[in-house]
Structure 1
C-alpha cells in the first residue's frame, strides 16, 4: 500500500469553485463595460480603461484556469477565482479613482 492515498474532492469545493468562476467572469464582463463609459469623457483615460476593463478580464481568466487546474489535481480550488474576483474589484476601484 502506498503511504499517501489520493485526496478526494469535496462537493462543496467543486460547487463553490464553479460558482466563483462564473461570478468572477460575470463581474469582470460588467466591469469591462462600465469602464468603457470612461472612454466617452473628454480626458485621456487609457490607463484607467486598461486597469478597469482589461485587467479584470485577464484576472478572471487566470483565476478560472487556475481553479480548474486545482480541481483536476484535487486541491482546494475555490481560492483562485475568489482571489481573482477581489483583485479585479480592487483594480477597478483604482482605475475609477484615476478616471475621475
Structure 2
C-alpha cells in the first residue's frame, strides 16, 4: 500500500462518517425542535426554553453541516464539526428541558 492510497482510504472513511453525522445531526435537531414545540402546548409558556431547545439545535446542525462540508472540500478532518454540533444540540436541549419544567 502506498502513501497515496492510504490517504484516499482515510478520506473516504472521513467522508462517510461526516455525511452520516450530518444526517443524524440534522435529524436529531428536527426531532428536538418538534419535542420542544410540545412545551408550548402546556400551561407554562416558556419562550427561553423553546428557543434553547428548538431553534438553537437547528441552527447548530446547519452550522455543523456547513462547516463539515467546507472541511471536506479542503481535505481536512471533517467529522468533528457535525459531532460537536450534535453534542451541543443535545446539551442545550437538556438545559431547556430543565428550564421548561
TM-score (norm 2): 0.90
1:22-69 CA deviation, whole Å, 9 max, x = no partner?
000000000000000000111121000000000000000000000000
Partner of 2:45: 44
Match of 2:26 in 1: 25
Counterpart residue number, 1:99: 100
Query: Alpha carbon RMSD of aligned pairs, Å?
Result: 1.1
**Moved >6 Å (runs of 4+):** none
Q: Where in structure 1 are there 5+ consecutive unaligned residues?
A: 1-6
* 2:90 alignment partner in structure 1: 89
In proportion to residue count, which structure has more helix? 2
Q: Structure 2 unaligned runs (5+)?
A: 1-6
> CA offsets per residue over residues 63-89 of structure 1, 9 Å max, x none?
000000000000000000000000000
